[in-house]
Chains A and B, each alone.
Chain A
Amino acid sequence: MTCDRQNIQEVLPAYLAGTLGSDDRVRVEEHLAACRDCTAELDLLRMMATEPVPDPGEGFWEALPHRIYPEVQRQRRRQWPSRLSDLLRGANIPRWGWAAAAAAVILASWLVVRPLPDRALRAAAKHRPAPAVDIIQEASNNTEIRPEDLERLSTWAHQELLSLQDGLADLSANGNGTRVEGALNVDLEDELASLSDEQLETLIDTLDRGSHDEDTEDPEEET
């Protein structure tokens, strides 16, 4: 006959493992003495519990952490880029923050660029699209940079680089240069490598003057 004492059957594994409290153990033993179905179930559980599991040996256990660790390290290193992006996503950086970072990168790149040849400077000055020295001066004079200033600065620096590129392209078109592509990366960088603060000021003045000259002397060239 099938026993329906589910409350007894539920605790049979604990009884078998010897983890049952004394009151429960007595209750189970009293039931087992009178129930063949639950006794058969206990025998079945005992057979399962004593199913043999081989021991791979101490050598296996000792070596396991050493076998796993290099692979764990390798996979963790591979995860770093995605972890960084997760971190940045989690940081919830505002738009102005990204703009500031972009502007900082562009500005830093611009500051390490080397001196331009005079002709390139003049040509670049002619093509400079927007007077922006005031932004630089404003930014450098203030200890706290406002987000909107950084956005303006980012835009200005980008335009500045484009205009320098145009200037070099013009030089080449006038028959004076043989390399236009990569000029900004190679010739310009060579020339501007040792730009000091003083030279930077001079460059800014030159650019600014060029812009004013352009406005007053040659307005058609804008088109």
Chain B
Amino acid sequence: MQNGSPMDEDLILLDRFADGDREAFDELVRKYQRPLYSMLYRMVSDHDDAADLLQKTFIKAFTGIGGFERRSRFKTWLYQIAINLAKNVYRDRSRFQQVPLDDVVIRRNPRTLESLIQQETRDRLRRAFVDLPERQRITVMLRVQEQKTYEEIARIMECSVGTAKANYHHGVQKLKAKLGEPSTDPTGPPVNAKE
């Protein structure tokens, strides 16, 4: 049992849900909806897809609650379900989707040379990230963006801590190598672009 109370709290809420307590259900959903949405959005880069996957994750978790072995955390189990569902959506994607928020940020700010370079670097990073092997990509995302420990990643990804560290390391090294290459993207914003 890790860290005691959060796990116990979830198990108590799950027992209450199993007994038909609607409030326990609401409490569990509200507890995990934001972090799960954040992770799903980072995986699929689209609000509608992320919201749909979020609902499916909870529905699958609560209808398959009998399959939840209480040796691990409920939170870990939710992440496993969410990642597996998102993988399918991600695999169906044939092309890279840009995050529109960045465009909004850029439009609000003056198009300085620095902001354009930053924008291009972000775009290149996203492309490099998408090109990573699946397990490396998910591991880097969980470690850097979701701030999971290697132990948590190992449980979510059902691998050893050593494998989680190796996936993280190889993923980040590939990203660094890609960003170190000269830009070959013809659609990237030119440095001297005008408003």
Contact = CB atoms under 8 A, between A and B. Distances in A.
Contacts of A44: 125, 172, 175-176, 179
Contact of A79 (B54, B55, B63, B121): B63
B176 to A, nearest CB: 6
Interface stretch (B4-12, B36-44, B68-76, B183-191): B36-44
Contacts of A67: 55
Interface stretch (A54-62, A161-169, A210-218): A54-62
Contacts of A49: 144-145
B132 to A, nearest CB: 12
B29 A64 contact: yes
Given A13-B143, A48-B125, A64-B54, A75 B63 contact: yes
Contacts of B175: 44
Nearest to B180: A40
B29 A68 contact: yes
A196 to B, nearest CB: 43
A214 B125 CA distance: 96
A219 interface: no
B129 A48 contact: yes
Nearest to A19: B147
Given A17-B147, A47-B121, A65 B29 contact: yes
A52 B98 CA distance: 12
Contacts of B42: 51, 53
A139 B129 CA distance: 75
Contacts of B165: 10
Interface string B27-52: 00110011001100110000100010
Interface in B137-165: 140, 143-145, 147, 149-150, 165
Given A41-B172, A69-B25, A64 B63 contact: no
A72 interface: yes
Contact of A52 (B29, B102, B144, B176): B102
Contacts of A53: 37-38, 41-42
Nearest to B126: A51
Interface in B162-179: 165, 168-169, 172, 175-176, 179
B111 interface: no
A54 B101 contact: yes
Contacts of B105: 52
Contacts of B55: 64, 67-68, 71
A10 B168 CA distance: 8
A61 B143 contact: no
Nearest to A71: B59
A72 B176 contact: no
B92 to A, nearest CB: 21
A185 B123 CA distance: 77
B133 to A, nearest CB: 17
Contacts of A40: 176
B99 interface: yes
A60 B140 CA distance: 28
Given A51-B99, A76-B62, 18 more contacts: A10-B169, A14-B149, A17-B147, A40-B176, A44-B175, A45-B144, A48-B125, A49-B145, A51-B145, A52-B99, A52-B102, A60-B51, A61-B33, A61-B34, A68-B29, A71-B55, A72-B58, A72-B62
Per CB-CB distance, the 8 closest pairs between chain A and chain B, nearest first, are A65-B29, A75-B63, A52-B101, A65-B26, A72-B62, A17-B147, A48-B144, A53-B41
